[in-house]
Structure 1
């Protein structure tokens, strides 16, 4: 049986989540009885065990980088990403407003409403095909700001194997 932390708040339902650190968290109403929370967790035991194992496996495969590793990835990103963005922007006929390298941990890239691209330095831990996919994905957002079918058609126009490349980024 996995341990879990309970956070009580002014909510109406009980919810179970896995944190970034790989622990179980139960969010519960202020008045929820401990026994009700325990029953809820027990009724979701299969889900909890499956997702805890997946998160812990991901964390083992992708440990937090040391300061030296992060600095190396930042240098690599600064050297590799701008030329790759220029190449694909030219091919796709789009123009980003700028490029930023961040230490984001929850996403590999983003495109602002003003077409400014941001890329996580942790992207440098992945193969070139995956990096190229993220660049094309973010550039496609210049034309299609959501993840609509038209957005994915745009990505597929330039990377017919985009699903294989995307899967390289998944745990």
Structure 2
């Protein structure tokens, strides 16, 4: 049986994630039995192996930035990302409560329940159209705080090619 970190919360579904270091993380509802979760993990072993290999391959290919490169990207991001977010907010009519640049490593962006958008400075290593996709994705969360059909329809109304951009982003 594969080892995993179990995180229980008030969720309704089970989610599997392979972390950067190859560790398996399982998120599950509070009341779901450990036996059921173990069975689910065993059933998904093929998927887990595939995603672990993909994660390792991406990690090996990723260029490590020097501290100076990180600092430069962070400074550029502090200037560019908020400005671009407000430009796109004006174009879309979707207004965030604020914009903050973070050093997040595991997500490109987020939108809080109070409509505050956070964007990782690491986006600055990506093409401009991918950056715009992440910003528009987060702006759409100011209207839909989920990934419902309505949310994706709103994203698509601004970016008809969002699926290709999303695939490109997932490759990183």
Q: Which has the larger radius of gyration?
A: 1
Give the distance between the partners of 1:113 and 1:8, measured in 2 at CA: 27
Give the distance between the partners of 2:113 and 2:5, measured in 1 at CA: 36
Cα offset for 1:64? 4.4
Cα offset for 1:145? 1.0
Label 1:5 to 1:77 Cα distance change in 2 as closer, same or farther (>3 A): same
Give the distance between the partners of 2:145 and 2:130, measured in 1 at CA: 21
Equivalences for residues 33-112 of structure 1 within 5 A: 46-47=46-47, 49-112=49-112
Cα offset for 1:78? 1.3
Give the distance between the partners of 1:55 and 1:22, measured in 2 at CA: 7
Tell me the C-alpha RMSD between the 2 structures. 3.1
| Residue of structure 2 in register with 1:154 after alignment | 154
Three-state SS of the structure 2 residue aligned to 1:21 is coil
Label 1:104 to 1:6 Cα distance change in 2 as closer, same or farther (>3 A): same
Cα offset for 1:62? 2.5
Q: Which residues of structure 1 form unaligned runs of 5+? A: 10-15, 26-39
| Residue of structure 2 in register with 1:113 after alignment | 113
Give the distance between the partners of 1:17 and 1:143, measured in 2 at CA: 27
| Residue of structure 2 in register with 1:140 after alignment | 140
State whether residues 96 and 142 of structure 2, in contact with CA within 8 Å, keep that contact through their aligned partners in structure 1.
yes
Three-state SS of the structure 2 residue aligned to 1:54 is helix
Give the distance between the partners of 1:69 and 1:168, measured in 2 at CA: 23
State whether residues 110 and 117 of structure 1, in contact with CA within 8 Å, keep that contact through their aligned partners in structure 2.
yes
Cα offset for 1:84? 1.1
| Residue of structure 2 in register with 1:30 after alignment | none
Number of residue pairs the alignment of both structures matches = 151
Cα offset for 1:133? 0.1
State whether residues 109 and 134 of structure 1, in contact with CA within 8 Å, keep that contact through their aligned partners in structure 2.
yes
